[in-house]
């Protein structure tokens, strides 16, 4: 089969890496891809949001399956367009992708169907939002309604911070129309866990749990980023918690989407907070997480393509999805300054020194390959993933890998996967 993956980050590299192990895959393509991906797939210069470009490329090249990976093409209906053109596609349709594209929709869905989440209010008028903030205790969480590259959420410790967030999101429109509405919600404390799940709209199959470190600096300091590192599984996600989540959160969400006429087929991402009063949903995403995928897929046994096809065909129930024992950790190496301003174009050295180790894989996010050399081209540059018998071993190996790689102004957290002292 000829498979095209839409996207060009570390998550797409991990998806392609796993697909490349499928005996059924004959040719892999990626639009637009990146330096590292070009080792596995033919990268075509079509932007991830270019629906017409992806449809016409798929048609003229006889692509058998398109995997639409990032949030924004899903949100604008790339899967609907591909299906309309008679091309098989993996990912939710536009109406289902709204579970991520609108936080107002997602919160309304949870409220309507009794799915546990933080208390909240929605505002489309900044004056009213500011008035409401005056009466609250802190911290509170301010969220732009729409997509904002993972940066539209502010955990505000004080009224002034919350006010500033509302003004930036709603009045200065730093995230454009995504900020026309805001959700102001109750701050939840506890352990954060991500659970990705395959679903065909009937059956839901959770993957191994994982945890993302979202803040830019060690000890969870600094601004939120797209993710600075991950590990899997989460030791806090016990079988008992998993059972509760299945019955109270995962199945009810799939069922709620069906009842709303928005059947979800693809990967559903549950961002959970394990609070004292039980697990609650922080957010849904309509796709694999980045960089969660970089630790979850290396632990998947078997053929990812087979699972994608079973989801599309509505026969996920018939498929066995199995996971390896042990753990995986991924350390993101970013350009200095990310998630703010940063410079690119620096040569990356040391990658070839990792070639021999089966337990380490480097997933490229923002890289370009020119004349056989790799250069930085984005905020998040590389995700160095390692597998181990234990989390400790996986973390150690990932940092050994990181130690061999260098580029100018490289920044990475030193505490990915460290458990203890209230960290992780």
Q: What are phi and psi of 95, to 5 degrees?
A: -65, -35
For position 10 contacting ligand AMP by CB under 6 A, the verdict is: no
Smallest distance from the beta carbon of 103 to ligand AMP, in angstroms?
7
Indicate the residue whose CB is closest to ligand GLY.
Answer: 289
Q: Which of 290, 329, 362, 398 binds ligand GLY (CB under 6 A)?
A: 290
Smallest distance from the beta carbon of 107 to ligand AMP, in angstroms?
10
Range in contact with ligand AMP (rule: CB under 6 A) among 45-53, 185-193, 195-203, 247-255: 185-193
* Residue 296 vs 351, nearer CB to ligand GLY: 296
R_g of the chain computed on alpha carbons: 21
For position 227 contacting ligand GLY by CB under 6 A, the verdict is: yes
Return left, alpha or beta for 331; rule: phi > 0 is left, psi -120 to 50 is alpha, else beta: beta
* Residue 79 vs 282, nearer CB to ligand AMP: 282
Which residue, chain included where needed, has tokens 């993956």? 5
* Residue 19 vs 282, nearer CB to ligand GLY: 282
Cα 332–Cα 333–Cα 336 angle in degrees, nearest 5:
130
| 369 interacts with, out of ligand AMP, ligand GLY, none, CB within 5 to 8 A per kind | none
Residues 188-227 that bind ligand AMP (CB under 6 A): 188, 192, 214, 224
Cβ atoms of 143 and 153 within 8 Å: the answer is yes
Smallest distance from the beta carbon of 121 to ligand GLY, in angstroms?
23
Range in contact with ligand GLY (rule: CB under 6 A) among 31-39, 282-290, 316-324, 409-417: 282-290
Task: State the DSSP string of 48-79.
Answer: TT-HHHHHHHHHHTT-SEEEE-SHHHHHTTHH
Is 240 strand, coil or helix?
A: helix
Task: State the DSSP string of 38-50.
Answer: GGTSEE----TT-
* Residue 117 vs 203, nearer CB to ligand GLY: 117
* Residue 25 vs 286, nearer CB to ligand GLY: 286
| 185 interacts with, out of ligand AMP, ligand GLY, none, CB within 5 to 8 A per kind | ligand AMP
For position 225 contacting ligand GLY by CB under 6 A, the verdict is: no
Is 408 strand, coil or helix?
A: coil
Q: Which of 3, 67, 110, 153 binds ligand AMP (CB under 6 A)?
A: 153
Task: State the DSSP string of 160-228.
Answer: HHHHHHHIIIIIS-TTGGGGSSEEEEE---SEEEEEEEEE-SS-EEE---BEE--EEEGGGEEEE-S-S
Q: How far apart are CA 381 and CA 36, in angstroms?
A: 10
| 285 interacts with, out of ligand GLY, ligand AMP, none, CB within 5 to 8 A per kind | ligand GLY
Range in contact with ligand GLY (rule: CB under 6 A) among 22-30, 289-297, 338-346, 407-415: 289-297
CB contact set of 22 (below 8 Å; sequence gap of 6+) = 303, 304, 305, 306
Nearest in space to 265 (alpha carbons), one of 50, 62, 69, 96 = 96
Give the H/E segment covering residue 103.
helix 103-113
Total interface residues for ligand GLY by CB under 6 A: 7
- Tell me the β-bridge partners of 5: 30, 67
Smallest distance from the beta carbon of 214 to ligand AMP, in angstroms?
5
Range in contact with ligand GLY (rule: CB under 6 A) among 48-56, 177-185, 283-291, 385-393: 283-291
Residues 136-155 that bind ligand GLY (CB under 6 A): 150
For position 10 contacting ligand GLY by CB under 6 A, the verdict is: no
| 12 interacts with, out of ligand GLY, ligand AMP, none, CB within 5 to 8 A per kind | none
Range in contact with ligand GLY (rule: CB under 6 A) among 36-44, 286-294, 388-396, 412-420: 286-294
Q: What are phi and psi of 310, to 5 degrees?
A: -65, -35
The pair of three-digit structure tokens given for residue 422, joined into one six-digit string:
């209230």
b/e per residue 355-386 (b: at least 16 CB within 10 A): eeeebbbbbbbbbbbeeeebbbbbbbbbbbbb
* Residue 228 vs 265, nearer CB to ligand GLY: 228
The pair of three-digit structure tokens given for residue 165, joined into one six-digit string:
């967030």
Per-position x/- string for 174-213, each x denoting binding to ligand GLY as judged by CB under 6 A, each - no binding: --------------------------------------x-
Task: State the DSSP string of 6-56.
Answer: EE-SHHHHHHHHHHTT-TT--EEEEEE--TTGGGTSEE----TT-HHHHHH
Residues at the contact surface with ligand GLY, assessed by CB under 6 A:
150, 212, 227, 285, 289-290, 292
Residues at the contact surface with ligand AMP, assessed by CB under 6 A:
118, 141, 143, 153, 155, 185-188, 192, 214, 224, 271, 282-283
């Amino acid at each position: 089969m000829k498979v095209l993956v839409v996207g060009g980050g570390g998550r797409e590299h991990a998806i392609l890496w796993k697909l490349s192990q499928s005996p059924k895959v004959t040719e892999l393509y990626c639009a637009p891809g990146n330096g590292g991906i070009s080792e596995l797939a033919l990268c075509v210069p079509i932007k991830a949001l270019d629906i017409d470009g992806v449809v016409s490329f798929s048609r003229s090249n006889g692509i058998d399956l398109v995997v639409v990976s990032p949030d924004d093409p899903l949100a604008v209906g790339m899967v609907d367009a591909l299906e309309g053109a008679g091309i098989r596609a993996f990912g939710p349709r536009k109406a289902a992708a709204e579970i991520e594209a609108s936080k107002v929709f997602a919160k309304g869905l949870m409220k309507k169907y009794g799915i546990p989440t933080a208390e909240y209010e929605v505002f489309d008028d900044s004056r009213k939002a500011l008035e409401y903030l005056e009466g609250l205790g802190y911290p509170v969480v301010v969220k732009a309604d729409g997509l904002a590259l993972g940066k539209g959420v502010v955990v505000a410790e004080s009224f002034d911070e919350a006010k500033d967030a509302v003004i930036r999101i709603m009045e200065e429109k730093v995230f454009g129309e995504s900020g026309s509405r805001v959700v102001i919600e109750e701050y939840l404390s506890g352990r954060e866990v991500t659970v990705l799940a395959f679903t065909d709209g009937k059956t839901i199959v959770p993957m191994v749990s994982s945890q993302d470190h979202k803040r830019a600096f060690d000890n969870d300091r600094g601004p939120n980023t797209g993710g600075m590192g991950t590990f899997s599984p989460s030791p806090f996600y016990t079988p008992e918690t998993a059972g509760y989540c299945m019955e109270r959160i995962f199945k009810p969400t799939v069922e709620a989407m069906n009842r709303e006429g928005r059947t979800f087929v693809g990967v559903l991402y549950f961002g959970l907070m394990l609070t004292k009063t039980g697990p609650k949903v922080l957010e849904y995403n309509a796709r694999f997480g980045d960089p969660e995928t970089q630790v979850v897929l290396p632990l998947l046994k078997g053929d990812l393509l087979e699972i994608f096809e079973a989801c599309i065909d509505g026969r996920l129930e018939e498929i066995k999805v199995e996971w390896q024992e042990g753990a995986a950790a991924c350390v993101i190496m970013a350009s200095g300054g990310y998630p703010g301003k940063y410079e690119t174009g620096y040569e990356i050295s040391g990658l070839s020194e990792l070639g021999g180790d089966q337990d380490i894989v480097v997933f490229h996010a923002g890289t370009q390959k020119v004349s056989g050399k790799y250069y930085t081209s984005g905020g998040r540059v590389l995700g160095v993933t390692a597998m181990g018998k234990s989390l400790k071993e996986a973390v150690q190996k990932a940092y050994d890998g990181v130690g061999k790689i260098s580029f100018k102004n490289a920044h990475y957290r030193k505490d990915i996967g460290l458990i203890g002292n209230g960290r992780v």
